[in-house]
Structure 1
Amino acid sequence: MACKEFTLPPSSIKQTRQNLQSAVHQNDAASRAGFLERMFTFAFKGLVYPQIWEDPTVDLEALALTPDSRMLTIASGGCNVLSYLTANPREIIAVDLNRAHLALTRLKLAAAQGMPTYEAFYRFFGEADARANVNAYKRFVQERLDKESRKYWEGRDLMLQRRISLFSRDLYHHGLLGYFIGVAHWMARLHGTDPRQIVWARTIDEQRTFFDTALAPLFDRRLVRWVTSKKMSLYGLGIPPAQYEALAADGNGDMAAVLKARLEKLACGFEMKDNYFAWQAFGRGYASGPSGPLPPYLQADHYAEIRDRAHRVKVCHRSFTEQLTKEQDAALDAYVLLDAQDWMTDAQLNELWAEITRTALPGARVVFRTAGAPSILPGRVDDAILERWDYRAEESLDYSKRDRSAIYGGMHLYVFKG
């Protein structure tokens, strides 16, 4: 059973908060850990990711979707949901606990169907900084949206501006992630470095030189080391306290060292002309014009496919596990969990994987990411469940190396034996 097309169950800030509390809160509110969890919940209830930070190209390779595939994924900012449509799956069910992410995903789907040309669609989401976008919303998208999403985008933010105006004020400078990147740029400039300069590098060698001489030394600065040692400092990356610990473990507790290594891969692992994640981090937006590196859903060659297949996506305000309980046995071919498992207790992981196993068809594929390098499942999920799955270790390592977002320690692929 899937959600009805383009309809949401009644949702609100209160419902989003309650869902996030269930997912994130693992400690008593009176404890320090509990306080940090509740601060994260407060920060996460609004728009976090204007752009999702998992590489859809390696996802699509790992998922091996076919025209018969039914898949379940976390929606997040919606970029990957639309990008998966390029593989022509039969149905995509996208779930999320955050109403802002659901509204953004639905906006992208409605715009794909409603915009009159690729140029208009690209201007709206690729540039996201033109006053004409607000008029395009009213003319071509507004009537295609469900009531809840319209309420979100036509409502006002804390600055009393209508949220749809974000697309005339550079969407990618906003949201929790956009603000985090903005603060990071400010701190870099405070120490005499402008991260934007790397986007003009013509070769990886030039990128490496800029990283070594301008970016790497920042992580030895006292202010940077102090800030990154605080769990709240990474809320802008959507990293809750439990995930912070897993991430820090990769650097023996030295978060500055971990972030330096991840930034090094982002800056030097791929040429700028091929990596739109690097453009977002260092240039604070996509390269000028549609000829630059872009997510698949924004590429001109895929526009007609996205437009014609957008109706295949169902969007639900539910947790991943809750949606699985509504599916029949052996009903799904693919699952994308993003990094959600890093947030979970052992009990939640076992409940999730019991439902994944029940609903999986033979050969079904599960893709997820982790803050640290290893898979978090062994020793936490019941052996009787994991024995029914084949962990593709070598493939997972290869996908991790080729994930251009560079933010995660590992990308993992499990294939159902049946």
Structure 2
Amino acid sequence: MTDLAPDAGFGRKNTKLKSALLQHKALSLAGLSERLFGLLFSGLVYPQIWEDPIVDMEAMQIRPGHRIVTIGSGGCNMLTYLSAGPARIDVVDLNRHHIALNRLKLAAFRHLPSHKDVLRFLASTGLRTNSDAFDLFIAPKLDAASRAYWTSRDISGRRRIGVFGRNIYRTGLLGRFISVSHLLARLHGINPADFIQARSMREQRQFFDDKLAPLFERPVIRWITSRKSSLFGLGIPPQQFDELASLSGERSLAAVLRHRLEKLTCHFPLRENYFAWQAFARRYPLPHEGDLPPYLQASNYETIRNHAHRVAVHHESFTELLARKPASSVDRYVLLDAQDWMSDRQLNDLWSEITRTADAGAVVIFRTAAEASILPGRLSAALLDQWDYDAEASLRLGAQDRSAIYGGFHIYRKKA
């Protein structure tokens, strides 16, 4: 198997992404909001995926022979799944920038000479030689469409691949949102980067209570977090904003965001939470500072490298890909939070294909902005009755998700 799908080329505009997002008329307030989000979301959004892969791996219990379909996003979790030796992974994404990034990360594992070279390329910052490594080792082996993407020029006239010589984790929609958040905090006298100086859970809690929590009481921050567009940088579409606002009982999401930030900063040791390092230090920890993501750890390198050819990357929707698969051909499904964006019709179309293609013992995992699963009351009874919801494991593993972004983590298992 190659790391390319039949649709290896991808166009300049994310027409598939935009069509998936638009549910209201253009001249309505909801329609305008959707179109603004679609415009922002059409660029690179997530240089790193923000779902905890350790939670995913425990929920799915991947075994050799399993066939997985997952949304790509930043590509990190797909690589982590490879460490369990599945037979095949199909990666789908409607964002062409994520497609190029997933293919590049796979090619880095396949063609860079060593684990140290992969770390320099994907985990280090400020290494201009990463562009040279791309030209020498990766570009000659990369598919034509992805090679053209990374060698093309960005708006500043620099080659796109040059971002790996600076700091790709400061880019993308989410990276810019974090930068603006840091700036806003500094304007209020708080430097979020100081959080990485904490040496214990007690110090982490103290930093949150003394420095971060009071920010959410500031009028300007409460006003900003009451605007849907202000949170587009987190990848929160209008539909998710409304869902989150329902949790707080008010239009501002200040209380919800404060609670999520408290989990990120106070519930896990800093050394063990690379998500917190990205949020506060804007990079991964150095070896003496903490743990890297599982896909970058030396213990997983050889397995991921040897299995990278088992991944196919597709520029299409989850439903479109499944519609081309035979019945009973998939064992694990990873939907991220995509269902929060969907209409009832899109949701039922998706689960019709999931149910048709699910093999015996199939597992579906996904996350939601709010705490509850979105399926009851929206998915047809005929489809929902074919799945068991693992409420206990969903609640337990959701609490263990170190990224702290989502309100709920959900596991559905195909009934025998």
Please report the TM-score for the alignment, with normalisation by the length of structure 1: 0.97
* CA distances 1:122-176 after superposition (whole Å, capped 9, x unpaired): 0111114310100000111111211111111111111121110101111111111
| Structure 1, unpaired ranges of 5+ | none
| SS of structure 2 residue aligned to 1:196 | helix
Deviation at 1:204, TM superposition (A): 0.9
Question: Are 2:29 and 1:36 aligned?
Answer: no
| SS of structure 1 residue aligned to 2:135 | helix
Residues 129-208 of structure 1 aligned to structure 2 (within 5 Å): 129-208=126-205
| SS of structure 1 residue aligned to 2:233 | helix
In 1, Cα distance between the equivalents of 2:157 and 2:43?
A: 15
Please tell me whether the aligned partners of residues 70 and 333 of structure 1 are also in contact (alpha carbons under 8 angstroms).
yes
1:11 paired residue number: 10
Question: Are 2:213 and 1:216 aligned?
Answer: yes
Deviation at 1:4, TM superposition (A): 7.1
- Which portions of structure 1, spanning 4 or more consecutive aligned residues, are displaced by more than 4 angstroms? none
Change (3 A) 1:290 1:206: closer
1:238 paired residue number: 235
Please tell me whether the aligned partners of residues 128 and 166 of structure 1 are also in contact (alpha carbons under 8 angstroms).
no
1:349 paired residue number: 347
2:269 paired residue number: 271
Please tell me whether the aligned partners of residues 348 and 380 of structure 2 are also in contact (alpha carbons under 8 angstroms).
yes
Please tell me whether the aligned partners of residues 49 and 75 of structure 2 are also in contact (alpha carbons under 8 angstroms).
yes
Question: Are 2:72 and 1:78 aligned?
Answer: no
In 2, Cα distance between the equivalents of 1:165 and 1:222?
A: 39
* CA distances 1:228-275 after superposition (whole Å, capped 9, x unpaired): 111111111111111111122222233010000000000001000000
In 2, Cα distance between the equivalents of 1:324 and 1:270?
A: 37
| SS of structure 2 residue aligned to 1:379 | coil
User: What is the one-letter code of the residue matched to 1:345?
Assistant: S
Please tell me whether the aligned partners of residues 5 and 311 of structure 1 are also in contact (alpha carbons under 8 angstroms).
no
Change (3 A) 1:301 1:97: same
1:47 paired residue number: 44
Question: Are 2:393 and 1:362 aligned?
Answer: no
Question: Are 2:283 and 1:285 aligned?
Answer: yes
1:107 paired residue number: 104
2:374 paired residue number: 376
Report the identity percentage: 53
Please tell me whether the aligned partners of residues 112 and 138 of structure 2 are also in contact (alpha carbons under 8 angstroms).
yes
Deviation at 1:414, TM superposition (A): 0.1
Residues 267-416 of structure 1 aligned to structure 2 (within 5 Å): 267-289=265-287, 292-416=290-414
In 2, Cα distance between the equivalents of 1:125 and 1:6?
A: 23
The structure 1 residue matched to 2:84, chosen from 78, 84, 87, is 87
* CA distances 1:390-410 after superposition (whole Å, capped 9, x unpaired): 000010000110000000000
User: What is the one-letter code of the residue matched to 2:185?
Assistant: A
In 2, Cα distance between the equivalents of 1:259 and 1:97?
A: 27
* CA distances 1:70-89 after superposition (whole Å, capped 9, x unpaired): 01000111000101101111
Deviation at 1:13, TM superposition (A): 2.3
Deviation at 1:200, TM superposition (A): 1.7
1:262 paired residue number: 260
In 2, Cα distance between the equivalents of 1:158 and 1:234?
A: 24
| SS of structure 1 residue aligned to 2:83 | helix
Please tell me whether the aligned partners of residues 251 and 257 of structure 1 are also in contact (alpha carbons under 8 angstroms).
yes
**How many pairs does the alignment contain?**
415
The structure 2 residue matched to 1:62, chosen from 59, 62, 79, is 59
| SS of structure 2 residue aligned to 1:333 | strand
Please tell me whether the aligned partners of residues 248 and 255 of structure 1 are also in contact (alpha carbons under 8 angstroms).
yes
Please report the TM-score for the alignment, with normalisation by the length of structure 2: 0.98
Alpha-carbon RMSD across the aligned residues, in angstroms, is 1.3
Deviation at 1:292, TM superposition (A): 2.4
In 2, Cα distance between the equivalents of 1:30 and 1:403?
A: 39
